[in-house]
Amino acid sequence: MRNNSSYCIIMGGGVGSRFWPFSKEEKPKQFLDFFGTGRSLLQTTFDRFKKIIPPENIFIVTNDAYASLTKEQLPELAENQILLEPIRRNTAPCIAYATYRIKAMNSDANIVVAPADHLVLKEEQFLKDIERGLKFVEQNDVLLTLGIKPSRPETGYGYIQLDKETKEGIHKVKTFTEKPNKELAQAFLDSGEFVWNSGVFLWNVNSILKAFKNYLPDIVNRFDEGAGMFNTSAEKEFINKIFPFCQNISIDYGVLEKADNVYVITGDFGWSDLGTWGSLHEAVERDENNNSNLHCKTVYIESYDNIITMSDDKLVVVQGLEGYIVAESDNALLICKKSEEQRIKHFVTDVKFRFGDEYI
């Protein structure tokens, strides 16, 4: 059931450089249809949340460069539901901006914050957890994060350690750990005390603003200068003026790792952050040799554990390849070991240095 005091912030301003060349600066991964469903990751995220949150209470925060793309993909949104950042400043300023806007509209709003580019396979269970979380933050002065039961010793995710203390069956957070090595990730998995940090957060507008004041006062001071401008025609000019001077920091580092009222609701709903080619490979259908393909036809010969994606439904024949990413889009082709995919960002920087923006 939709609650008019429930709001959603969808963060959709990233460049998705780890998915280059499929994802490029002019059309990054949140605007792409990875799975051939006819809906991009951003559209799918919006579709998911509008089932439990009034569509007019959903806000997309993105970069100025993606204003027209966002409007094109989500024509049902009013123009003032697309909040535009003049420059990228990580998740804390992004969330602060949307929170100040929502506060100007509803001084007691309950908010869910989610990235635009995650995969959720068991949507019904996910939405039940979100509704439970929204009710929890409405009744308790807490910052709530959504934790995922780990299925493997993943080194690409952050981990949350559960405290024994609970409130209404929801655990207090003991510690946060960013991207552990393989041995530590295995120890976390074996202990049963840790969950993956999904990057989905829930809180009441007053709880998160109090936390910003306590832990990121510099950001609050800047936004407070615009008191009375939010949700008015003066808002955009004010944001353009102050946003570049905001601290470039994530909400995790800036607030959640410091606050003492952080709780975690644990879910199991077929989640992936789709942050890397490897996570995408895990999420899609694979053949008996663990090969997968997207947007193309493939013939694999003596090849194992690969992912291939092409534009325009091309045919690809590969022989003797094991553990590779092969990705093509328009004027660029990437062939890279899956085990080395963390270097793709560096490859993109190198390409930009040598050949300019044409291939980025």
Question: Where residue 318 falls among pLDDT bands split at 50, 70, 90?
Answer: very high
- Dist CA 68 CA 77 (whole Å): 12
**Beta carbons of 142 and 263 less than 8 angstroms apart:** yes
pLDDT given for residue 2 in this prediction: 64
**Beta carbons of 265 and 147 less than 8 angstroms apart:** yes
Question: Where residue 76 falls among pLDDT bands split at 50, 70, 90?
Answer: very high
Matching residue, tokens 């080194």: 155
Question: Where residue 86 falls among pLDDT bands split at 50, 70, 90?
Answer: very high
Matching residue, tokens 């490979």: 281
Using the predicted structure, report yes or no on whether residue 259 has a pLDDT greater than 90.
yes
More confident residue, 2 or 275: 275
Structure tokens at 55: 């569509």
Using the predicted structure, report yes or no on whether residue 106 has a pLDDT greater than 90.
yes
- Dist CA 237 CA 235 (whole Å): 6
Question: Where residue 338 falls among pLDDT bands split at 50, 70, 90?
Answer: very high
DSSP letter for each residue of 109-165: -EEEEEETT-EES-HHHHHHHHHHHHHHHHHSS-EEEEEE--SS--SSS-EEEEEEE
Say which range, 24-28, 131-135, 143-147, 215-219, has the weakest mean pLDDT: 24-28
Find the mean pLDDT for residues 316-338: 94
DSSP letter for each residue of 248-300: ---HIIIIITT-S-EEEEEE-S-EE---SHHHHHHHS---TTS-EEESSEEEE
Question: Where residue 78 falls among pLDDT bands split at 50, 70, 90?
Answer: very high
Could you tell me whether strands 292-294 and 6-11 are parallel, antiparallel, or unpaired per DSSP bridges?
Answer: unpaired
Contacts 24+ apart (CB under 8 A), 34-42: 34/274, 34/280, 34/294, 35/284, 35/294, 36/294, 36/295, 40/73, 41/116, 41/117, 41/118, 41/119, 41/274, 42/10, 42/12, 42/70, 42/73, 42/74, 42/116, 42/117
Say which range, 13-17, 80-84, 121-125, 317-321, has the weakest mean pLDDT: 13-17
Whether the upstream peptide bond of residue 180 has omega within 30° of 0, thus cis, is no
Find the mean pLDDT for residues 148-169: 86
pLDDT given for residue 347 in this prediction: 95
**Beta carbons of 90 and 250 less than 8 angstroms apart:** yes
**Which of 10-14, 27-31, 275-279, 320-324 reaches the highest mean pLDDT?**
320-324
Matching residue, tokens 């044409």: 358
Find the mean pLDDT for residues 23-48: 92
Using the predicted structure, report yes or no on whether residue 1 has a pLDDT greater than 80.
no
- Dist CA 132 CA 266 (whole Å): 11
Sign of CA dihedral 181, 186, 187, 192: positive
Distances (CA, A) of 143 to 75, 117, 129, 269: 32, 22, 15, 21
Question: Where residue 224 falls among pLDDT bands split at 50, 70, 90?
Answer: very high
Find the mean pLDDT for residues 193-214: 95
pLDDT given for residue 271 in this prediction: 86
Structure tokens at 178: 């960013």
More confident residue, 330 or 186: 186
Using the predicted structure, report yes or no on whether residue 305 has a pLDDT greater than 70.
yes
Using the predicted structure, report yes or no on whether residue 245 has a pLDDT greater than 90.
yes
- Dist CA 125 CA 240 (whole Å): 39
Query: Which stretches within 62-112 are classed as H helix?
Result: 67-73, 91-105
User: What does pLDDT average to over the chain?
Assistant: 93
26-50 burial string, b = 16+ CB within 10 Å, else e? Answer: eebbbbbebbeeeebbbbbbbebbb
Calculate the CA 271 to chain-centre distance: 12
Say which range, 82-96, 152-166, 280-294, 307-321, has the weakest mean pLDDT: 152-166
Give the three-state DSSP class for 332.
strand
- φ, ψ dihedrals at 95, nearest 5°: -70, -40
Question: Where residue 62 falls among pLDDT bands split at 50, 70, 90?
Answer: very high
Question: Where residue 195 falls among pLDDT bands split at 50, 70, 90?
Answer: very high
**Beta carbons of 44 and 121 less than 8 angstroms apart:** no
